[in-house]
Structure 1
Amino acid sequence: MSKQGSDSLAGARAASTEKKRAPLLTRLRGVAAATLACASLVGCASSTDVVASDKPGTFTVAASATGGRMAWAHAHQLATNEARDYCERRGMQSSVNMETVSGIGVMTEHGSSVNFECHPRF
């Protein structure tokens, strides 16, 4: 086989490989775009460590979330879950005394600060 014949065969293989990759890349781009869209709707959330407050037996945890109108609900849920988990690790149950929320605008940071106590399970 001549060098020119092998070059054209290699070119045909490369073109075939590119045709196979194109749908895969398109699919990957679509998945990436869908993931990014969902992440922007859900947003990000984080919480602080549980700290003892100035009142004995009372603790505080804060959480914040961004990403849409319901970000306050994500912050609230994260803060109350942290309080519950903290008490459960001690074999107790949590009791929320007070919650302070902040942030009302869309796509701004919303926050929740929960003061709670741990009580024995009955």
Structure 2
Amino acid sequence: MFNTVSGRMPERGEAPGALAARSALSGRARAFIAGVVACASLVGCASSSDVVATSKANTYTVAASATGGRLAWARAHEQAMSEARDYCERRGMQTSVTKETVSGVQGLTEHGSSMSFECHPKF
């Protein structure tokens, strides 16, 4: 018996409806995988450079970038802030951002945050 859904004959001993069920299941699985991949590409990730000392005492710079979606700039900003905060806290100090430059404003492009900061004693 020819299966009009798949366009092929069922295997020997296979029920005619089993082929259609197997095709539908694999189609659902493919759709699920495609959905997961699409969501993962929109979430993106952020990465940062090492903290670099400047010529001014207790002043440093760090850069971060992120891709995927409209809020990539926020992930880049948070990654740079986190790196600056961690750097100062490891020295028993607190962070004070002096300047931040952002880049990339269109969706699905790389967004960046370049930050200058100082480490000050905690009060």
TM-score by length of 1: 0.73
Aligned length: 111
Determine the structure 2 residue equivalent to 1:114. Answer: 115
| Counterpart mapping for 1:34-113 below 5 A | 34-113=35-114
Higher helix share: 1
Query: How far has the Cα of 1:28 moved from its partner?
Result: 6.0
Which amino acid in the other structure matches residue 77 of structure 2? Answer: H
SS at match of 1:93: strand
1:104–1:28 CA distance, 2 compared to 1 (3 A): same
- Structure 2: how far apart are the matches of 1:92 and 1:32? 46
Which portions of structure 1, spanning 4 or more consecutive aligned residues, are displaced by more than 2 angstroms? 25-35
2:107 alignment partner, SS class: coil
The whole-number CA distance in structure 1 between the counterparts of 2:31 and 2:77 is: 32
SS in 1 for 2:86: helix
Aligned-pair identity in percent equals 65
Counterpart in the other structure of 1:15 = none
Q: Under a length normalisation based on structure 2, what TM-score does the superposition of the two structures give?
A: 0.72
Amino acid at match of 1:111: G
- Return 5+ residue gaps in structure 1 as ranges: 1-10, 13-18
Deviation of 1:33 (Å): 3.0
For residues 72 and 113 of structure 1, the distance between their equivalents in structure 2, rounded to whole angstroms, comes to 11
Unpaired stretches in structure 2, ≥5 consecutive residues: 1-11, 14-20
Deviations 1:6-28 (A, max 9, x none): xxxxx87xxxxxx99x96x7776
Cα distance, 1:91–1:36 mapped onto 2, change above 3 Å: same
